[in-house]
């Protein structure tokens, strides 16, 4: 259900995240304007947007007729004047502080009714985003998604301790709930926020296992996919702790933690691969060999877990 008082939503930046947000917003019947730097970017974003909706129909999340209705809620522009009556905005431009702050200045200039500016920044903390900003510094916060945000429900909301006005995190949370998302509000602003911290804690040990000659990358992947990871789509880490009993977990922590990776920088095995140009799928090889691999199958599997999580309140007209 759409949130009362929010009708027109702007998205600044039409790359991977901005375009995916366009799908999420229009799929809930919000009047959505995507602001791009030029007409070339508009054409590229429109193509991606259409492909995202095509995949939604192919995966039976909605009918073609419903997709056509949703798509009518989208406009593109290169002019901030088209956002004059925007109620809130997602900022989804490149991960560079000066570029993001220039966007906020333009919003202050052109959008007199703006209630909330949500940055999707992966790593810039909200106090840095708001630093030096003008009359809207009290309504800038981070709403960090995982790509693609129209499929992956989780968003983490991070406020600036000294700048964000009371009520802004609640408004962001209510708005994201209206988009069928699963928002979490962090109690403090920290590097890596929450999801990335969890993901990279595991990535550090996965690399360590390979680097120490304990197992091949394929086998680490098997361990993750077929042992404990599927559990965490239905119960959480702490639910699992409590279910197993804390004594058991404490004993394992005591015995195992001294042997886990304490790596503080880029692990040597990763650096070696970078130096050899083994960058992953796009160079044909990374930790695994992608030469001749079925990349369409990889793409299908990448999206597969999220389709059952879509329960959108699609606009009827
Ligand atoms: N890609 C991911 O997996 C991911 C996940 C979570 C968060 N993020 C964050 O999302 C943001 C965007 O990342 P992306 O992956 O979509 O990048 P991208 O390179 O696909 O898109 C960036 C967009 O910003 C636009 N842009 C640059 N300067 C602009 C300006 N002055 N005004 C308007 N638009 C401008 C570019 O034209 C481009 O369309 C970054 O802050 C990134 O950290 C990315």
Q: Residue ranges of the domains in the chain?
A: 8-193, 195-276
- Whose alpha carbon is nearest atom 20 of ligand 1? 15
Is the Cα torsion angle 189, 147, 14, 69 positive or negative in sign?
A: negative
pTM: 0.96
- Provide, for the chain, the percentages of residues in helix, strand and coil under a 3-state DSSP scheme, each rounded to the nearest 5: 50, 15, 40
Other beta carbons within 10 angstroms of residue 23's beta carbon come to 26
- Whose C-alpha lies nearest to ligand 1, atom 4? 147
* CA-closest residue to ligand 1 atom 38: 15
Instruction: Please state, as a whole number, how many other Cβ atoms lie within 10 Å of the Cβ of residue 56.
Output: 23
Structure tokens at 101: 């702050």
Name which of 168, 176, 156, 123 is nearest 9 in CA terms: 176
CATH number of 195-276: 1.10.1040.10
pLDDT at residue 126, rounded to an integer: 97
Give Dmax (Cα) for the chain: 61
Q: How far is the CA of 26 from the centre of ligand 1 (A)?
A: 19
Domains 8-193 and 195-276 share a fold: no
Tell me how far CA of residue 195 lies from CA of 38, 199, 253, in angstroms. Answer: 33, 6, 21
Tell which phi-psi region holds residue 245, choosing left (phi > 0), alpha (psi between -120 and 50) or beta.
left
Which residue's CA is minimally distant from atom 31 of ligand 1? Answer: 99
Q: Which residues pair with 116 in a beta bridge?
A: 88
Q: What is the pLDDT of residue 199?
A: 97
The pLDDT score that the predictor gives to residue 1 is 87
CA–CA dist 220, 232 (Å, integer): 17
Check the CA dihedral 18-20-24-25 and report its sign: positive
CATH class, domain 8-193, is alpha beta
Ligand 1, residues at Cβ distance < 6 Å: 12-18, 35, 37, 41, 92-95, 99, 103, 120-122, 144-145, 147
Q: How far is the CA of 100 from the centre of ligand 1 (A)?
A: 10
- Atom of ligand 1 at shortest range from CA of 19: 16
Q: Is 278 exposed, middle or buried (0-12, 13-18, 19+ CB in 10 A)?
A: middle
Kindly report the three-state secondary structure assignment for every residue of 41-93.
HHHHHHHHHHHHHHHHHHCCCCCHHHHHHHHCCEEEECCHHHHCCCCEEEECC
Cα 122 to ligand 1 centre (Å): 10
Which stretches in the chain have pLDDT values below 70?
none
Host H or E run for residue 137: none
Q: Is the distance from CB of 279 to CB of 286 less than 8 angstroms?
A: yes
The neighbouring-strand residues paired with 31 are 8
């Amino acid at each position: 259900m759409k949130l009362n008082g929010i009708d027109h939503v702007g998205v600044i930046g039409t790359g991977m995240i901005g375009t995916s947000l366009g799908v999420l917003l229009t799929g809930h019947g919000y009047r959505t304007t995507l602001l791009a730097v030029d007409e070339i970017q508009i054409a590229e974003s429109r193509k991606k947007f259409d492909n995202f909706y095509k995949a939604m129909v192919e995966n039976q999340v909605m009918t073609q007729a419903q997709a056509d209705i949703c798509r009518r809620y989208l406009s593109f522009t290169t002019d901030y004047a088209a956002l004059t009556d925007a109620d809130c905005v997602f900022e989804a431009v490149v991960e560079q502080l000066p570029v993001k702050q220039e966007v906020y200045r333009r919003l202050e200039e052109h959008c007199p009714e703006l209630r909330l500016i949500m940055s999707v920044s992966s790593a810039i903390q909200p106090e840095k985003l708001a630093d030096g900003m003008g009359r809207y510094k009290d309504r800038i916060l981070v709403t960090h998604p995982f790509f693609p945000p129209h499929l992956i429900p989780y968003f983490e909301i991070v406020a600036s301790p000294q700048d964000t006005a009371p009520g802004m995190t609640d408004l962001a949370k209510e708005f994201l709930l209206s988009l069928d998302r699963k928002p979490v509000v962090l109690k403090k602003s920290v590097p890596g926020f929450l999801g990335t911290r969890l993901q990279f804690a595991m990535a550090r040990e996965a690399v360590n296992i390979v680097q120490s000659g304990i197992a091949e990358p394929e086998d680490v992947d098997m361990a993750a996919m077929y042992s404990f990871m599927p559990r965490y789509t239905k119960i959480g880490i702490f639910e699992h702790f409590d279910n197993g009993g804390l004594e058991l977990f404490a004993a394992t922590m005591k015995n195992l933690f001294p042997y886990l990776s304490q790596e503080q920088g880029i692990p040597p095995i990763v650096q070696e691969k970078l130096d050899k140009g083994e960058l992953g799928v796009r160079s044909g090889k990374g930790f695994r060999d992608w030469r001749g691999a079925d990349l369409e199958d990889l793409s299908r599997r990448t999206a597969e877990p999220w389709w059952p999580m879509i329960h959108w309140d699609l606009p009827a007209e």
